[in-house]
Amino acid sequence: MHILNPNDSERRLNMAKIESTLKNMVLSLTLITIGASAALGFVYEITKKPIEVTSMKNKLEAIKAVVPSFDNTPGSEMFILPTDDGDSLEIYPAKVGDEIVAYAVKAGTQKGFSGFIGIMVGFKPDGTIINTSVLEHKETPGLGSKITDPGFREQFNGKNPENFSLKVKKDGGQVDAITAATISSRAFCDAIERAYNTLKKGGLI
């Protein structure tokens, strides 16, 4: 076992090493950090573009998944609406011709089991939920991560929060929570509710 090998320290003594003088220490650490910074800067430059493209692509795909077909570019017609609690949400209108067929709302909540959950929700102009898509989450894999499963998300499709209580059944609502992931289920409902309330407050539905 190398960690515990008593010969290791002897081997180190036999090897030619530069002395631990202040000048040597400062010099070698400086050179190493400069080298490391250069390498990081280089990698950052070459990955910057792909990272932006991926995050843009994910957003567009999420919009496409939650609204019916459209012929405009929701990405460039995005606008921002304030929420009740001082935050603001991005709204992407989907149009056919000049008529608005749906709004895709990028909403999120901090109430997840492990922090932030970001979702995209599509609403018809009358407030009915069309579909949902999870953009980002850090929920427990295998438990809370099931908020991304269609089996859980589809129960919201076609429901109007006007007459559909966005609470899990345990809290007196109408949503079937994921087994052993009530907090994640609650958070998902909370994110949809924030999106709905924001649209409503903005007078769009």
In the complex, which residues of this chain contact another protein (CB under 8 A)? 1-3, 5, 8, 11-12, 15-21, 24-25, 28-29, 31-33, 36, 39-40, 43-44, 47, 50-51, 54, 58, 136, 138, 140-143, 145, 179-180
Residue 83 or 140 having the CB closest to another protein = 140
How far apart are alpha carbons 121 and 132 in whole angstroms? 5
Question: From edge to edge, which strands make up the β-sheet containing 99-112?
Answer: 79-82, 88-96, 99-112, 115-123, 129-136
Backbone angles phi, psi at 165, to 5 degrees: -75, 115
Sorted by sequence, the CB contacts under 8 Å of residue 83 that are 6+ apart come out as: 89, 194, 197, 198, 201
Residue 30 or 88 having the CB closest to another protein = 30
- Give residue 196's Cα distance to chain centre: 19
Residue 51 or 96 having the CB closest to another protein = 51
Residue 25 token pair:
């220490």
Least distance (Å) between residue 135 CB and another protein: 10
Least distance (Å) between residue 72 CB and another protein: 26
Neighbours of 5 (CB within 10 A): 10
Helix (H) or strand (E) holding 12: helix 7-14
Residue 36 or 96 having the CB closest to another protein = 36
Residue 24 or 73 having the CB closest to another protein = 24
Least distance (Å) between residue 86 CB and another protein: 27
Least distance (Å) between residue 54 CB and another protein: 5
Least distance (Å) between residue 175 CB and another protein: 19
> Any idea what DSSP says for residue 175?
B
